[in-house]
Structure 1
């Protein structure tokens, strides 16, 4: 790992979130959170998968130079955006939901609510609207003036990642093993592409054989969903209840029915297994842990200059 990248990580993890507070928009846009939730409700009705996709934006945004909405920036003729990053291309989606939220806010509170805060509020709402816990989010972020494509390629984990790698990565952001497992539990809703699991089904660790951790009947199901000649953009459910935020994800991991390698490895790895088993048995404990993890993730920030964008896809004109 390059020394520059280590400095980048240090820069993020030592930044404080002291300026963030739940009532940040009370004087300037008191209805901000209700506006965000109303748009998310409409998105859930229109396409249930979209809210899980919006929630994922928080991870891809906050892990890369802090929560600054850099992930939302479109490419320009001279600067490629993070949407072209290895972990994002052909994978991140539902940016139009963020656009819809921003448009609704601009009508009521023009130039007041940052896109970075919209991502945080919308991610929380994705959990709450699908049966998960609700919580007060801390607000007051600014939007990045540029994307961070190189940094995104450096840091965002792939579906092939194992628990050991993920533990080390999360530790760099002061996120614990419990945070890692709880935040992985956000895969309780949504889907992922066949592209992400082809190696698990047909060539795990270069053996030419499937991952032995996959329960046999579940592997048969995945083989039918993702045969060797499949369009790898075909999607499969991340757990058995993909539209409900619950602890089914962890029950599936215990049973060997984790969709992604990075999920199933949480049960096969000693340091993470105890949390998987705990969360599979006690949903309330999982809910408390995921709220704590989402808040800590949302607190990741840098000291870069920022603004409140009028359009989440482009920086403001100077």
Structure 2
């Protein structure tokens, strides 16, 4: 859940925006669009074979969608007129792979028009992204509806890479997610890449006493400073979230224990006894991490607040 700007989490977010998806079911499309899941999987596989960054991008899209108005595909809507949509909010300008969802939707509309929501495509695509990266599979509950509202201003509600453990806890709890969910879902950072802007403050002018965040391993900080100098930075400079950034594994947790978490929010997981214990548990057991991640993904993905089935994921009907 990398983010380009730090945004203090606003506690005015009303939890009632998010209604847990009581109507979701595992066999939702069995009669109306039986090939839905295989159509989506094929679209993801085709895109990932051309661009290895696609799985991480799709997982991130789903997170960024669910954390604003529930998993309602509002992140896919395009800005229109004076309304600036979520995808154009500062934390989301580096989101990509929207075309993969478009490709899946186009194929689904050919087979079963007006049946499969863009929100369900995103939830299934996130699962497929994890599987393609060597991670666990799970049955995704389906039946989400697509939202009609998307505002760039609401993207300040996303957890920022600068968040402390208390800010992270507040952000997750306002969505009905626990400390266990926070640590498990943070493991999504095993995939992907971050631009320098998300961790720049940790490696230059950290505070009045330290130029570099003292919680960082010195060699790790030095390598990041060489990639992200204070001046004359290369366009799109940054670092992978972990060295095996296209493989879904538990290295993320091992790195945190070594002081090599990329974001302040990653390293912050060691700042509370409960989350620290979970980091240690997941670092020592890949199986424990996989199981927890699946449970938390199903829980997060079931928050839904949509109203319609969009014909085109980029525009409301």
TM-score (norm 2): 0.92
Aligned-partner Cα distance in 2 for 1:50–1:206: 40
Counterpart of 1:228 in structure 2 is 230
Counterpart of 1:112 in structure 2 is 115
Counterpart of 1:209 in structure 2 is 211
Match of 2:300 among 290, 297, 301: 297
Task: Tell me whether 1:9 sits opposite 2:14 in the alignment.
Answer: yes
Distance 1:62 1:206, change over 3 A: farther
Counterpart of 1:156 in structure 2 is 158
Structure 1: segments with no counterpart, 5+ residues:
none
Match of 1:189 among 188, 191, 200: 191
Aligned-partner Cα distance in 1 for 2:175–2:100: 28
Counterpart of 2:77 in structure 1 is 73
Q: Deviations over 1:229-276 (max 9, x none)?
A: 213631311012101001011111111111111111112443311110
Distance 1:12 1:146, change over 3 A: closer
Aligned-partner Cα distance in 1 for 2:89–2:140: 28
Tell me, yes or no, if the aligned pair for 1:65 and 1:148 is still in contact at 8 Å: no
Q: Provide the aligned C-alpha RMSD in A.
A: 1.6
Aligned-partner Cα distance in 1 for 2:276–2:153: 33
Distance 1:206 1:48, change over 3 A: farther
> What displacement does 1:54 show?
0.9
Tell me, yes or no, if the aligned pair for 2:83 and 2:151 is still in contact at 8 Å: no
Deviates more, 1:280-289 or 1:232-241: 232-241
Counterpart of 1:237 in structure 2 is 240
Q: How many residue pairs are counted as aligned between the two chains? A: 307
Q: Deviations over 1:193-251 (max 9, x none)?
A: 11111110012245551111111111121111111121363131101210100101111
Counterpart of 1:52 in structure 2 is 56
Aligned-partner Cα distance in 1 for 2:11–2:153: 10
Distance 1:252 1:189, change over 3 A: same
Counterpart of 2:309 in structure 1 is 308
Distance 1:275 1:5, change over 3 A: closer
Q: SS of the counterpart of 1:93?
A: coil
Aligned-partner Cα distance in 1 for 2:81–2:17: 28
Counterpart of 1:103 in structure 2 is 106
Match of 1:253 among 253, 256, 259: 256
Counterpart of 2:35 in structure 1 is 31
Structure 2: segments with no counterpart, 5+ residues:
1-9
TM-score (norm 1): 0.92
> What displacement does 1:5 show?
6.2
Distance 1:287 1:207, change over 3 A: same
Aligned-partner Cα distance in 1 for 2:146–2:109: 15
Q: SS of the counterpart of 2:20?
A: coil
Q: SS of the counterpart of 2:239?
A: strand
Counterpart of 1:288 in structure 2 is 291
Aligned-partner Cα distance in 1 for 2:229–2:38: 44
Aligned-partner Cα distance in 1 for 2:293–2:206: 30
